[in-house]
Structure 1
Amino acid sequence: MRKRVMVVVDQTSHSKHAMMWALTHVTNKGDLLTLLHVVPPPKPNTSHHDSSACCPYLANSLGSLCKACKPEVEVEALVIQGPKLGTVMSQVRKLEVSVLVLGQKKHSAFINCFCGTSSSEEFVDQCIKKADCLTVGVRKQSKGMGGYIISTRWQKNFWLLA
């Protein structure tokens, strides 16, 4: 059965790690990998081309990388402007996504002690709670350790050696 796997991508290394993890661990021949890059709406009194100029290039270049790594998986790149959480949730429903994959940043002791959770961690947690499909937060393990730290609705910070 063909499944649709969606990865939320941006310029960060953790989203690229999540994309590669999804490509190698979740997708199979004939599956569809959707790369979703959400661009924030322009702020009043700013030119909207500043933040969105690189976006089609980013999504398309990541899509080309995926096709080169695993040509048997169909890849599409979407760039949508809007609020990040709302846009991701609406695309999950609209496209009938089977698995949503999100990159997670490493936990910072400074942020956790003094500021609480970061907005990135909060975003991943909200997606895991709200999405109508299996949602996986992926963080590459630190150098020397290998593997990934995986979070889902049922398991948080699970170490996966792969």
Structure 2
Amino acid sequence: MVVAEPTRESAGALQWALSHSLLEKDELFLLHVEQPHTWRNTLSTLFRGPSPPVFAPTNPSLMEGISNGDIDFLDLMKHACEVAQPKVQVKIERVEIDGKDKASTILMKSRMFSIDILVIGQRRSLSNALLGYKLSGGSARVIDTAEYLIENSKCTCVGVQKKGQNGGYVLNTKKQKNFWLLA
């Protein structure tokens, strides 16, 4: 299962999963968890301009759909998976949560589908670290969805950071932190 979002981090996680963790006849779930009534979604749709797709499809009819606004990022991700791994069955799972915890929802879905590997794109930046602090039990600690999933998932969870075009990946798991993979 790959946590699918319209971000570069999620695209990098999917690229890593396609090239390093999937085998023929595997089943891949693209899970998108959306909070429909948050201020962040309202602002992003208000200020969103046309942006290039993270995955450029090879099929011209899909490109026409993008320009018309008919195809969303999950369809593009699914198409990229089908091109890269034609023998892998790809399923899209959309979940809307209203006021619930995103990480808990992802963990619940991974248990429900008996997932072996959970892959999530991970961003590490100063702004993320500063804005991610939350008081918990009297002490401040960073609350990050990827870190929470890595630490609390029953299956193997891999946080993926893509480094440049040909720079490889930095992987984080429960047992391995900041593992550099050139590929």
Q: What TM-score, normalized by structure 2, do the two folds share?
A: 0.71
- Give the aligned residue type for 2:120: L
Corresponding residue number in structure 2 for 1:130:
152
2:174 to 134, 142, 153: 153
Q: Deviations over 1:60-110 (max 9, x none)?
A: 2211111011101111111111131121011011000000000011x3245
RMSD between aligned residues: 2.8
Corresponding residue number in structure 2 for 1:73:
88
Corresponding residue number in structure 2 for 1:62:
77
Question: For the structure 1 residues 71 and 129, does the alpha-carbon distance in structure 2 shift closer, same or farther, using more than 3 Å as the test?
Answer: same
In 2, the alpha carbon distance for the partners of 1:68 and 1:143 equals 19
Which of these two proteins has the greater Rg computed from alpha carbons? 2
Corresponding residue number in structure 2 for 1:92:
110
Is 1:104–1:121's contact at 8 Å kept on the other side of the alignment? Answer: no
Q: Deviations over 1:97-142 (max 9, x none)?
A: 000000011x324554xx2657997111100111110000000124
- Give the aligned residue type for 1:21: W
In 2, the alpha carbon distance for the partners of 1:111 and 1:72 equals 37
Question: For the structure 1 residues 57 and 142, does the alpha-carbon distance in structure 2 shift closer, same or farther, using more than 3 Å as the test?
Answer: closer
- Give the aligned residue type for 1:124: A
Corresponding residue number in structure 2 for 1:3:
none
* Structure 2 unaligned residues grouped into runs of 5+: 47-68, 135-141
Q: Which runs of 4+ in 1 moved over 6 A?
A: 118-121
Percent of aligned positions that are identical: 32
1:108 aligns to 2:125 (yes or no):
yes
* Structure 1 unaligned residues grouped into runs of 5+: 1-5
- Give the aligned residue type for 1:16: A
Question: For the structure 1 residues 76 and 111, does the alpha-carbon distance in structure 2 shift closer, same or farther, using more than 3 Å as the test?
Answer: closer
SS at match of 1:97: coil
Residues paired across the two proteins, number = 147
In 1, the alpha carbon distance for the partners of 2:18 and 2:143 equals 22
Q: Deviations over 1:36-60 (max 9, x none)?
A: 000114259x99xx79xx8x82222
Question: For the structure 1 residues 110 and 76, does the alpha-carbon distance in structure 2 shift closer, same or farther, using more than 3 Å as the test?
Answer: closer
Is 1:59–1:78's contact at 8 Å kept on the other side of the alignment? Answer: no
1:15 aligns to 2:10 (yes or no):
yes
Corresponding residue number in structure 1 for 2:60:
none
